[in-house]
Amino acid sequence: MRIFDPFSHFLVGLSQTFCGFNMAKCNPWMMRRLCMIMRQNFAKSCEEKLNDQINLELKACHQYLAMAYHFDRADVSSPGIHGFFLQASVEEREHAEKIMKYMNKRGGTIILSAVPEPVPQFEDAMSALKQALQMEMDVNQHLLDVHALAGKENDPNLCDFIEANFLQEQVDGQKVLADFIRQLERAQNEVGDYLFDKYMISGSMHGNGQQAKKH
Protein backbone atom coordinates (compact mmCIF):
# COMPACT_ATOMS: atom_id res chain seq x y z
CA MET A 1 0.00 0.00 0.00
CA ARG A 2 1.44 3.40 -1.03
CA ILE A 3 1.46 6.02 1.71
CA PHE A 4 0.72 9.57 0.64
CA ASP A 5 3.55 11.92 1.50
CA PRO A 6 2.36 15.52 1.24
CA PHE A 7 5.89 16.97 1.27
CA SER A 8 7.07 14.77 -1.59
CA HIS A 9 3.95 15.67 -3.50
CA PHE A 10 4.76 19.35 -2.99
CA LEU A 11 8.35 18.88 -4.26
CA VAL A 12 7.18 17.08 -7.38
CA GLY A 13 4.71 19.86 -8.15
CA LEU A 14 7.36 22.50 -7.57
CA SER A 15 9.83 20.80 -9.90
CA GLN A 16 7.19 20.49 -12.61
CA THR A 17 6.37 24.16 -12.29
CA PHE A 18 9.95 25.44 -12.54
CA CYS A 19 11.62 22.77 -14.66
CA GLY A 20 8.86 21.57 -16.98
CA PHE A 21 6.37 22.96 -19.41
CA ASN A 22 5.12 25.68 -17.07
CA MET A 23 8.60 27.23 -16.95
CA ALA A 24 8.36 28.22 -20.61
CA LYS A 25 5.12 30.02 -19.89
CA CYS A 26 6.49 31.99 -16.93
CA ASN A 27 6.54 35.74 -17.20
CA PRO A 28 10.16 36.76 -18.13
CA TRP A 29 9.99 39.54 -15.56
CA MET A 30 9.16 36.99 -12.87
CA MET A 31 12.02 34.75 -13.99
CA ARG A 32 14.47 37.65 -13.70
CA ARG A 33 13.08 38.51 -10.28
CA LEU A 34 13.73 34.94 -9.13
CA CYS A 35 17.29 35.13 -10.45
CA MET A 36 18.02 38.45 -8.71
CA ILE A 37 16.74 37.72 -5.23
CA MET A 38 20.12 38.72 -3.79
CA ARG A 39 19.67 42.34 -4.93
CA GLN A 40 19.77 44.58 -1.87
CA ASN A 41 20.04 48.34 -1.41
CA PHE A 42 20.90 48.89 -5.09
CA ALA A 43 18.89 51.82 -6.42
CA LYS A 44 17.74 51.93 -10.02
CA SER A 45 19.39 55.33 -10.41
CA CYS A 46 22.76 53.82 -9.40
CA GLU A 47 22.26 50.94 -11.84
CA GLU A 48 21.61 53.38 -14.69
CA LYS A 49 24.61 55.53 -13.74
CA LEU A 50 26.90 52.48 -13.68
CA ASN A 51 25.67 51.50 -17.14
CA ASP A 52 26.59 54.98 -18.33
CA GLN A 53 30.04 54.51 -16.78
CA ILE A 54 30.53 51.17 -18.52
CA ASN A 55 29.75 52.73 -21.88
CA LEU A 56 31.99 55.71 -21.16
CA GLU A 57 34.89 53.35 -20.39
CA LEU A 58 34.26 51.43 -23.63
CA LYS A 59 34.15 54.70 -25.57
CA ALA A 60 37.56 55.60 -24.11
CA CYS A 61 38.83 52.09 -24.94
CA HIS A 62 37.92 52.54 -28.62
CA GLN A 63 39.37 56.05 -28.78
CA TYR A 64 42.69 54.92 -27.29
CA LEU A 65 42.76 52.04 -29.76
CA ALA A 66 42.28 54.47 -32.65
CA MET A 67 45.03 56.69 -31.24
CA ALA A 68 47.41 53.75 -30.85
CA TYR A 69 47.08 52.60 -34.43
CA HIS A 70 47.29 56.12 -35.83
CA PHE A 71 50.77 56.37 -34.32
CA ASP A 72 51.63 52.91 -35.68
CA ARG A 73 51.19 54.08 -39.28
CA ALA A 74 54.28 54.07 -41.50
CA ASP A 75 53.99 57.82 -42.12
CA VAL A 76 53.84 58.52 -38.38
CA SER A 77 56.00 55.73 -36.88
CA SER A 78 55.92 56.53 -33.16
CA PRO A 79 56.19 53.14 -31.44
CA GLY A 80 56.45 54.61 -27.96
CA ILE A 81 53.20 56.57 -28.22
CA HIS A 82 51.58 53.63 -30.00
CA GLY A 83 52.41 51.32 -27.09
CA PHE A 84 51.30 53.88 -24.50
CA PHE A 85 47.85 54.33 -26.03
CA LEU A 86 47.49 50.60 -26.71
CA GLN A 87 48.03 49.89 -23.02
CA ALA A 88 45.57 52.66 -22.12
CA SER A 89 42.96 50.98 -24.35
CA VAL A 90 43.45 47.66 -22.55
CA GLU A 91 43.07 49.37 -19.16
CA GLU A 92 39.82 51.09 -20.14
CA ARG A 93 38.35 47.79 -21.31
CA GLU A 94 39.40 46.20 -18.02
CA HIS A 95 37.66 49.03 -16.16
CA ALA A 96 34.44 48.37 -18.08
CA GLU A 97 34.64 44.64 -17.39
CA LYS A 98 35.28 45.26 -13.70
CA ILE A 99 32.13 47.38 -13.46
CA MET A 100 30.14 44.75 -15.38
CA LYS A 101 31.23 42.05 -12.93
CA TYR A 102 30.24 44.32 -10.05
CA MET A 103 26.85 44.98 -11.68
CA ASN A 104 26.16 41.24 -11.80
CA LYS A 105 27.13 40.89 -8.14
CA ARG A 106 24.60 43.57 -7.20
CA GLY A 107 21.80 42.07 -9.30
CA GLY A 108 21.72 44.79 -11.94
CA THR A 109 21.14 44.58 -15.69
CA ILE A 110 24.05 45.42 -18.00
CA ILE A 111 23.00 47.55 -20.97
CA LEU A 112 25.67 48.22 -23.59
CA SER A 113 24.98 51.06 -26.01
CA ALA A 114 26.54 51.78 -29.40
CA VAL A 115 30.09 53.12 -29.14
CA PRO A 116 30.58 56.44 -31.00
CA GLU A 117 33.07 56.44 -33.85
CA PRO A 118 36.47 57.52 -32.47
CA VAL A 119 38.60 60.29 -33.93
CA PRO A 120 40.79 58.42 -36.46
CA GLN A 121 43.71 60.80 -37.02
CA PHE A 122 45.74 63.37 -35.11
CA GLU A 123 47.92 66.25 -36.19
CA ASP A 124 50.67 65.31 -33.77
CA ALA A 125 51.40 63.68 -30.41
CA MET A 126 50.50 66.86 -28.54
CA SER A 127 46.94 66.98 -29.87
CA ALA A 128 46.43 63.29 -29.04
CA LEU A 129 47.76 63.70 -25.50
CA LYS A 130 45.55 66.72 -24.88
CA GLN A 131 42.47 64.82 -26.07
CA ALA A 132 43.47 61.87 -23.87
CA LEU A 133 43.73 64.16 -20.83
CA GLN A 134 40.29 65.66 -21.50
CA MET A 135 38.85 62.17 -21.94
CA GLU A 136 40.33 61.00 -18.64
CA MET A 137 38.92 64.06 -16.88
CA ASP A 138 35.47 63.33 -18.33
CA VAL A 139 35.67 59.72 -17.15
CA ASN A 140 36.82 60.83 -13.71
CA GLN A 141 34.03 63.39 -13.39
CA HIS A 142 31.47 60.73 -14.17
CA LEU A 143 33.00 58.44 -11.54
CA LEU A 144 32.72 61.27 -9.01
CA ASP A 145 29.07 61.67 -10.01
CA VAL A 146 28.49 57.93 -9.48
CA HIS A 147 30.12 58.17 -6.05
CA ALA A 148 28.01 61.20 -5.11
CA LEU A 149 24.82 59.43 -6.23
CA ALA A 150 25.77 56.31 -4.23
CA GLY A 151 26.18 58.50 -1.15
CA LYS A 152 22.80 60.11 -1.77
CA GLU A 153 21.18 56.68 -2.15
CA ASN A 154 22.91 55.43 1.03
CA ASP A 155 24.84 52.71 -0.83
CA PRO A 156 28.17 52.33 1.04
CA ASN A 157 29.12 49.25 -0.96
CA LEU A 158 29.05 51.16 -4.24
CA CYS A 159 30.95 54.05 -2.66
CA ASP A 160 33.64 51.63 -1.50
CA PHE A 161 33.83 49.97 -4.94
CA ILE A 162 34.41 53.30 -6.70
CA GLU A 163 36.94 54.50 -4.12
CA ALA A 164 38.92 51.25 -4.00
CA ASN A 165 39.12 50.62 -7.74
CA PHE A 166 39.02 53.90 -9.64
CA LEU A 167 39.40 57.29 -7.98
CA GLN A 168 43.11 57.32 -7.14
CA GLU A 169 44.01 55.56 -10.38
CA GLN A 170 42.22 58.26 -12.36
CA VAL A 171 44.07 61.05 -10.55
CA ASP A 172 47.40 59.27 -11.17
CA GLY A 173 46.59 58.84 -14.87
CA GLN A 174 45.70 62.51 -15.29
CA LYS A 175 49.00 63.53 -13.68
CA VAL A 176 50.95 61.27 -16.06
CA LEU A 177 49.26 62.82 -19.10
CA ALA A 178 49.73 66.37 -17.82
CA ASP A 179 53.44 65.67 -17.25
CA PHE A 180 53.83 64.25 -20.77
CA ILE A 181 52.12 67.29 -22.29
CA ARG A 182 54.44 69.68 -20.45
CA GLN A 183 57.56 67.67 -21.35
CA LEU A 184 56.54 67.61 -25.01
CA GLU A 185 55.97 71.39 -24.94
CA ARG A 186 59.60 71.80 -23.91
CA ALA A 187 60.81 69.66 -26.81
CA GLN A 188 58.56 71.06 -29.54
CA ASN A 189 60.53 70.27 -32.69
CA GLU A 190 61.03 67.15 -34.81
CA VAL A 191 64.11 66.00 -32.90
CA GLY A 192 62.30 66.64 -29.64
CA ASP A 193 59.30 64.60 -30.82
CA TYR A 194 61.60 61.72 -31.74
CA LEU A 195 63.38 61.75 -28.37
CA PHE A 196 60.10 62.08 -26.51
CA ASP A 197 58.73 59.03 -28.32
CA LYS A 198 61.78 57.03 -27.20
CA TYR A 199 61.09 58.19 -23.65
CA MET A 200 57.44 57.12 -23.94
CA ILE A 201 58.42 53.50 -24.66
CA SER A 202 58.78 52.96 -20.91
CA GLY A 203 55.72 55.07 -20.07
CA SER A 204 52.41 53.84 -18.68
CA MET A 205 49.19 55.61 -17.78
CA HIS A 206 48.77 53.99 -14.38
CA GLY A 207 52.34 53.20 -13.45
CA ASN A 208 52.49 49.45 -14.06
CA GLY A 209 55.38 49.84 -16.50
CA GLN A 210 53.99 47.11 -18.72
CA GLN A 211 52.80 48.04 -22.15
CA ALA A 212 50.48 45.96 -24.28
CA LYS A 213 52.27 43.74 -26.72
CA LYS A 214 51.95 44.61 -30.36
CA HIS A 215 50.35 41.78 -32.34
Cβ-in-10-Å burial (0-12, 13-18, 19+) of 108 comes to buried
What local confidence, expressed as pLDDT, does residue 11 receive?
Answer: 46
pTM of the entire predicted model = 0.76
Q: What is the pLDDT of residue 207?
A: 62
Per-residue model confidence (pLDDT) at position 168:
96
| Tally of CB atoms within 10 A around 133 | 18
What pLDDT shows up at residue 198?
Answer: 75
Question: Mind listing the pLDDT tens digit for each residue in 116-167?
Answer: 999 999 999 999 999 999 999 999 999 999 999 999 999 999 999 999 999 9
Q: What is the pLDDT of residue 185?
A: 85
| Residue pair 211/204 in contact by the 8 Å Cβ criterion | yes
What gap in Å lies between CA 142 and CA 54, rounded to an integer? 11
State the Cα–Cα distance between residues 83 and 75, nearest whole angstrom. Answer: 16
pLDDT at position 30 is: 64
Q: At 78, phi and psi to the nearest 5?
A: -125, 80
- The answer to whether the beta carbons of residues 114 and 108 sit under 8 Å apart is no
DSSP code of residue 50: H
Buried b (16+ CB within 10 A) or exposed e, 35-51: eeeeeeebeeebbebbb
Q: How far is CA 68 from CA 17, 90, 139, in A?
A: 54, 11, 19
Residue 73 has pLDDT above 50, yes or no: yes
Q: In this predicted model, what pLDDT tens digit does every residue of 102-112 receive, in sequence order?
A: 999 999 999 99
What pLDDT digit, counting tens, does each position of 11-69 carry?
A: 445 444 444 445 445 566 666 666 578 889 999 999 999 999 999 999 999 999 999 99
- In Å, how far from its chain's centre is CA 1? 64
Backbone angles phi, psi at 204, to 5 degrees: -155, 140
Confidence band, pLDDT 50/70/90 cuts, at residue 208:
low
